[in-house]
Structure 1
Amino acid sequence: MTEPQYENWLADLSASRILLAELHHSQGVEYVATGPFISRPTDSDPNRVYDDCLTAAVDISTRIDGLVGFGQVALLDDGSITHWAANAWQGHPIRLYLGGPDWSRDDFRLLANGRNGGISDARRGVLSFVMEDESSVFDERIDTGQLPDDAGPVPLALGSIYNAPAYLLTPDPYRFKASFLPVTALNPKDNGNPVAHTNQMGDGTFDLSERLKGTLTVDIEEAHNTPQKVCEWVADYYGVPLGDIQLPGYRVGLYYNGDVSGAQILDELCQGLGAYWYRDALGALTVRQRVLPTAAEITLDGDDIEYDQIRLASTEAPWRGLTLRWGRNYSPLTTIAGAIEEDNPGEASRLRKEWRESRKTQAVDDYPLAQHEELNSVIQDEADAATERARLLTLRAQRRETWSIKAFLAPVRVSMAITVDHPRLAGRVGRIASVSRSPTRGTTNLEIWF
């Protein structure tokens, strides 16, 4: 079956569907389904019998401001699977596949990857599991190794870093560590004044030939200097597939000299870009900016909305103004070299301040309590900061609304542009912020951001 044929089948809400679940545990795999199913002799896994004891519909929820969520995997226990309760399930994979009851097994498509959160209910007639998303892998600490003398983790620098600390490795020669990753440039400074040095790009170190007079800091250039490249590095480090990345090509920098996780990196990257991240139902890392839709990709007809199942869920007031912080100084100085003070007062000022700022206000007279927002960003260039500040202010120049709708709708994806042909919304175009759907039912719960 081709992908277009499968998409057409998904769009047919009257089509018969069956959900297959492969439940892994420490001793093997159990195969269950929402109806009787046996793979064909010609399938890649021939004559596989799926026990038709899967009773729950396993709702799958995806949000642009959170993680993928799954309903419980509930099995009908007629006594034949009671012994399964003794297996070690927690942490092992759960894979869900969707197709038609008369299909070849090889034509089924992977619907979702998740992890077994353990048994949630085991009693007469019922065995249930919690199904968890796999985003927790990004909570694991990134291992950069340790500095000498128990000085903490080796710093992690991604992209363009201004004025970071450097750490002594050996006293003869005076070798300093600036970055866990290989770098493209290192420029050490003594109280802000550039000093003679020799770089070892491959291991992020540099040597000084003379003693320091004051505080040593270093500017770092590392290859992952755009939002796209940062996402690629995080996904690669954790062995996670890279999904849809829709981010601008700004020059960015992120620096950590303590414990850090992939989730922290992604959160900090997204914070000042008006962006969000999550792992989709198939486990791929997805990162996008929230942007205003210009044209609808799909239309929801009012007749397809369940009776009285459309409501205004929340509103967000516009922003009166925005201060976007950028170009972070990772080691502000109190003492600046005289040569810098005299010859480059602008640089001296920057060496003292932690952040540079891009500020602007806008008229929102209809909302007297509208707030002036402040955001930190990983942006490194003034022009990029001004561009992003203007984009975010435009996005928040008027009241935003989130509407909750339950409808009969072919499968849709988070972030799609949608127009709703209903008197309450008058054909406005919004973005899907949340989708909650059972693969074996025709209704979909939507949250749409206008």
Structure 2
Amino acid sequence: MNETLNEAMSDAQFTAWLRNTSARRLVLIEVAVYSGGQQRTRFLSTGAYVTAPDDTPPNLAYQSIVSTGMQFTEQLSLGGEASLSAGDIEIDNPSGIRDAWLNDVWMNRPIRAWIGDPRWRRGDFRLIFNGVVADIAPKGRDKLALKLRDKLQRLNTPVSEAKLGGATPNKDAVLPLAFGEVHNIAPLLADPALLQYQVHGAAIEGVIEVRDNGLPVRITADNASGRFFLAAPPAGTITVTVQGDRPGTYANTVAALLRRLATAYGKAGDRFVEGDLDVANLAAFDAAHPQAVGLFLAGRTNVLNACQMIASSLGAQLVMSRLGQLRLLQISLPPVGSPTQVGPQHMVAGTLTPVSRSAPTASVKLGFCKNWTVQTGLQTGIPVQHKDLFETEWLTATLADSEVQAAYRLDAEPVQQDTMLLRRVDAEAEAQRRLAIGRVPRTVYEFDGTAEMLALELGQAVRVTHPRFGMEKGVVGQVVSLAPDWLTGHVKVGFIV
């Protein structure tokens, strides 16, 4: 293989180079930092490297001061909550010559890394990480450590801090936000004199109904501004059911709402753009999961938490690929897609090891169709069953497996897991999916993989064959953790079966 290729290198050529134990490996790092009163980019590397005169950028020398490659771990949470992948980079600091770097501002600055051969042109290096710096810290007397996070860190900002304004008593209140369909929310009184209420800080699809102490009342809706006007002064508590945020086309599915939140809310400078999204993954998730959801935010909530409340409704997680694109993944057994074959030849000998085992679950209880304003003791003339609904925060769907319960002597009543799902049929289907996964103990295994395994991705299906652990004929599992070491061409792989 020609290691100074001018044309684009194929994946097969790149893998062959990684597999070559005598190959010279070099990591190039470009990291933004606020230093000396201005934004700068520092160009670091694990070895000497200068770009060619006709490279982009030309004649650029990288500082050979990084003492380790990219040490970074990607993982799916087995509990379903969002998790920020993490790692660090060690920088040489002999005799404290870079102590001043500790006074620079690194936090939440972008960082990218590439790997290649010192003899390659800059354009042939492969991107292996695209994330942000959490911070910098000393690591002993002669090292500094850049603490890394994936780009989900950028979503750790308030969804919105826009306030009502004006001169009314609620002028300092944060504008409410409604995504998808939400039931019986408490709107913000925007103007007492005009009987004007705000349900969303922008245009909405429409108001379904407004109630005063549980009784339906007449209103005039202003969908373009997310408001409505009462026809008469209220007698009690005003609540409203609404189909919310409409940027142009109304959407109420998990993938569509996450895309909207990540790209249009939070701090303007931290919002994702199209290039930060794995568009194909989100489109596939949307096609496979059309269940309707709804989320109402009446105060300060950060974007990542809001996204995860929606995603977890279907047991999904927000994950950044190592190339810095947002994906939606589920723990799903058996996993979706054709499994990649993994055998002993893909493992460092003797490294396949069980690392954890889950307890079985005999039942699942999901909360759905949230009543966002619980009202007790309503005295208005509405049917008793309606009053009962207004007193209930969640409708629930419960499924149980009596055989598992008896075999493992488990309690019958599960802990309720709340979702943003709207329909019972969807909640029951999701409960069935979770019960099918949890009804048997699940084991997570790890092994040190060879260069071919560096191409694995989180959530991917694998079929693992090995003489140990009942895998003689192969078992199908799902990749749940990856810790690549690009300088050695190995990767620690975790999978669940």
TM-score (norm 2): 0.83
Distance 2:458 2:411 in 1: 28
Give 1:283 shift: 3.0
Give 1:145 shift: 2.2
Give 1:72 shift: 2.5
**Cα distance change, pair 217–53 in 1 and its aligned pair in 2 (3 A):** same
**Cα distance change, pair 2–319 in 1 and its aligned pair in 2 (3 A):** farther
The code of the aligned residue for 1:416 comes to Q
Deviation per CA, 1:293-312: give whole Å up to 9, x if none: 26653122113322332221
Deviation per CA, 1:373-401: give whole Å up to 9, x if none: 42100001122112211111112222111
Contact 1:319 1:373 in 2 (8 A): no
Alignment of 1:28-43 (within 5 A): 28-43=40-55
Deviation per CA, 1:184-214: give whole Å up to 9, x if none: 1112111222211111112211001212233
- What residue in structure 1 maps to residue 3 of structure 2? none
- Of residues 26, 32, 40, the one that matches 2:34 is 26
Give 1:84 shift: 5.6
- What residue in structure 2 maps to residue 227 of structure 1? 254
- What residue in structure 2 maps to residue 174 of structure 1? 195
Unaligned residue ranges in structure 2 (runs of 5+): 1-5, 78-82, 245-249
Structure 1 counterpart SS, 2:305: helix
- Of residues 434, 437, 442, the one that matches 2:489 is 442
**Cα distance change, pair 86–436 in 1 and its aligned pair in 2 (3 A):** closer
**Cα distance change, pair 54–338 in 1 and its aligned pair in 2 (3 A):** closer
Distance 2:442 2:370 in 1: 31
Unaligned residue ranges in structure 1 (runs of 5+): none
Structure 1 counterpart SS, 2:491: strand
Give 1:432 shift: 0.5
**Cα distance change, pair 87–29 in 1 and its aligned pair in 2 (3 A):** farther
Contact 1:70 1:133 in 2 (8 A): no
**Cα distance change, pair 57–172 in 1 and its aligned pair in 2 (3 A):** same
TM-score (norm 1): 0.91
Contact 2:84 2:153 in 1 (8 A): no
Distance 2:65 2:235 in 1: 74
Give 1:336 shift: 4.3
Structure 2 counterpart SS, 1:135: helix
The code of the aligned residue for 1:282 comes to L
Distance 2:43 2:95 in 1: 16
Structure 1 counterpart SS, 2:139: strand
**Cα distance change, pair 189–98 in 1 and its aligned pair in 2 (3 A):** same
The answer to which of 290-299 and 210-219 deviates more is 290-299
**Cα distance change, pair 116–196 in 1 and its aligned pair in 2 (3 A):** closer
Give 1:9 shift: 0.7
**Cα distance change, pair 34–2 in 1 and its aligned pair in 2 (3 A):** same
- Of residues 450, 459, 463, the one that matches 1:415 is 459
Structure 1 counterpart SS, 2:349: strand
Distance 2:8 2:464 in 1: 27
Distance 1:297 1:8 in 2: 23
More strand by share: 1
Deviation per CA, 1:86-117: give whole Å up to 9, x if none: 66142233321122322221222332132151
Give 1:8 shift: 4.0
- What residue in structure 1 maps to residue 183 of structure 2? 162
The code of the aligned residue for 2:253 comes to T
How many residue pairs match? The answer is: 445
Contact 1:185 1:220 in 2 (8 A): yes
1:318 aligns with 2:356: no
Alignment of 1:87-98 (within 5 A): 88-91=104-107, 92-98=109-115
- Of residues 314, 338, 343, the one that matches 1:273 is 314
- What root-mean-square deviation, in Å, do the aligned CA atoms of Structure 1 and Structure 2 show? 2.5
Contact 1:436 1:445 in 2 (8 A): yes
Contact 1:271 1:375 in 2 (8 A): no
Structure 2 counterpart SS, 1:90: coil
Distance 2:310 2:70 in 1: 32
The answer to which of 266-275 and 429-438 deviates more is 266-275
The code of the aligned residue for 1:430 comes to G
Structure 1 counterpart SS, 2:10: helix
Distance 1:127 1:387 in 2: 50
The code of the aligned residue for 2:15 comes to L
- What residue in structure 2 maps to residue 13 of structure 1? 19
The answer to which of 353-362 and 6-15 deviates more is 6-15
- What residue in structure 2 maps to residue 299 of structure 1? 341
- What residue in structure 1 maps to residue 135 of structure 2? 117
Contact 2:330 2:459 in 1 (8 A): no
- What residue in structure 2 maps to residue 207 of structure 1? 229
